[in-house]
């Protein structure tokens, strides 16, 4: 019979949840914007607080700058910053109104002759920029920059004259793809997931999914990374996985992968959380500040993806 008053047996404390560990990482490393985004998604924070933080990056021309997209430093507005701002506004349900109207006027002012967006406007010249994002004097239209912007505007039922030609450009660019790389495919998915012509979008997505599998752009088995080449110009080990293309079960890209492939992908994502609570930045690191600022962005996206698929995060 146990002796009265005996000390309790030692127990192992429960491991901190992925969300708790990520929260410590965010408070330690994130900008105000990502702190408030984290609070909005996981701690009942307000959308108004996120909007206020985002406004610090807005310029008088209606665009966004000031390293909102961490790999583009300096104050000037850029299309990639605009896409980043729209993702933030969409995430908190505030993608509309005068702010977006002014942004569309900015997009009109920097569009190429065919009505689409360059990846980098020449005004970036002279400011620190990631070496894998070249600045040229007469940049071409890029699906990489245009697709996400057009998709987000359609998703939020924003109608502006700029959208007509930009939408036509996206259809032509997506439907003419013969070879591609993961970031361009992600831009195409961002467009197709919200394009108003749903039958056309579904047909284009089906063809794009076959291209992704044929060209081995997605790692279907994380235990066999060597079987899936890294795209030219990407950092060593900069692989992409099914969850990178299908961020939620509602994405058209979800149909590209079997249930087993998606399960392995999500298992790999969950296991990638680092000791400090953050998820790793896989693209090329070229300066300390951009790498530090990207970490919370990647971490919030990982948590949102896992939660979208019903995975426990905390």
Tokens matching residue 288? 């300390």
Residues 224-247: tens digit of each pLDDT:
999 999 999 999 999 999 999 999
192, 148 Cβ separation under 8 angstroms? no
Report whether 73 contacts 128 (CB < 8 A). Answer: yes
- Asked whether residue 97 carries a pLDDT value surpassing 70, the answer given is yes
Whole-prediction pTM: 0.94
30-62 pLDDT per residue, tens? 999 999 999 999 999 999 999 999 999 999 999
The arithmetic mean of pLDDT across residues 10-25, rounded, is 84
Span 276-311, pLDDT tens digits: 999 999 999 999 999 999 999 999 999 999 999 999
The first and second tokens of residue 183, run together, are: 């970031």
Q: Phi, psi (5° rounding) for residue 250?
A: -80, -10
2 pLDDT above the threshold of 80: no
Is the dihedral angle over the CA atoms 87, 93, 97, 99 positive or is it negative? negative
Query: Which structure tokens are listed for 122?
Result: 């020449």
Other Cβ atoms within 10 Å of 127 Cβ, number: 15
Q: Decide if 304 contacts 266 (C-beta within 8 A).
A: no
> What are the pLDDT digits (tens) for 69-90?
999 999 999 999 999 999 999 9
Distances, alpha carbon 57 to alpha carbons 1, 61, 74, in Å = 69, 12, 11
Please tell me whether residue 288 adopts helix, strand or coil conformation: helix
CA atoms of 113 and 99, how far apart (whole Å): 25
CB 21 within 8 A of CB 273: yes
Structure tokens at 96: 């509309």
% of the chain residues with pLDDT over 90: 95
Q: DSSP state, 257? A: S
| Number of Cβ within a 10 Å radius of residue 223 | 8
* Angle, alpha carbons 300-237-146 (nearest 5°): 55
Q: What is the mean pLDDT of residues 209-223?
A: 98
CA distance 296 to 25: 8
- The torsion defined by the Cα of 292, 38, 279 and 293, in degrees rounded to 10, comes to -10
Per-residue model confidence as pLDDT tens digits over 131-158: 999 999 999 999 999 999 999 999 999 9
């Amino acid at each position: 019979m146990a002796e009265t008053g005996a000390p309790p047996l030692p127990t192992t404390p429960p491991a901190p949840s992925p969300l708790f560990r990520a929260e410590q990482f965010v408070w330690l490393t994130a900008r105000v914007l990502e702190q408030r985004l984290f609070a909005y998604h996981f701690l009942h924070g307000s959308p108004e607080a996120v909007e206020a933080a985002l406004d610090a990056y807005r310029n008088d021309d209606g665009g966004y700058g000031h390293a909102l997209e961490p790999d583009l430093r300096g104050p000037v507005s850029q299309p990639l910053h605009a896409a980043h701002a729209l993702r933030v506004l969409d995430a908190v349900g505030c993608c509309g109104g005068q702010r977006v109207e002014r942004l569309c006027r900015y997009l009109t002012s920097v569009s190429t002759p065919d009505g689409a967006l360059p990846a980098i406007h020449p005004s970036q010249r002279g400011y620190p920029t990631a070496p894998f994002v070249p600045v040229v004097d007469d940049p071409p239209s890029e699906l990489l920059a245009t697709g996400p912007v057009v998709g987000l505007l359609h998703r939020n039922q924003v109608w502006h004259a700029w959208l007509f030609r930009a939408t036509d450009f996206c259809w032509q660019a997506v439907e003419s793809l013969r070879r591609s790389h993961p970031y361009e495919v992600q831009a195409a998915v961002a467009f197709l997931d919200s394009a108003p012509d749903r039958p056309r979008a579904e047909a284009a997505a089906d063809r794009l999914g076959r291209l992704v599998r044929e060209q081995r752009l997605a790692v279907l088995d994380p235990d066999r990374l060597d079987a899936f080449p890294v795209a030219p110009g990407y950092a060593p080990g900069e692989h992409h996985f099914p969850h990178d293309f299908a961020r939620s079960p509602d994405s058209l890209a979800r149909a590209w992968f079997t249930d087993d492939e998606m399960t392995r992908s999500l298992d790999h994502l969950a296991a990638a959380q680092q000791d400090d609570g953050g998820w790793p930045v896989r693209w090329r690191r070229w300066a300390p500040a951009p790498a530090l600022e990207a970490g919370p962005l990647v971490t919030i996206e990982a948590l949102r993806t896992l939660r979208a698929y019903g995975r426990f995060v905390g």
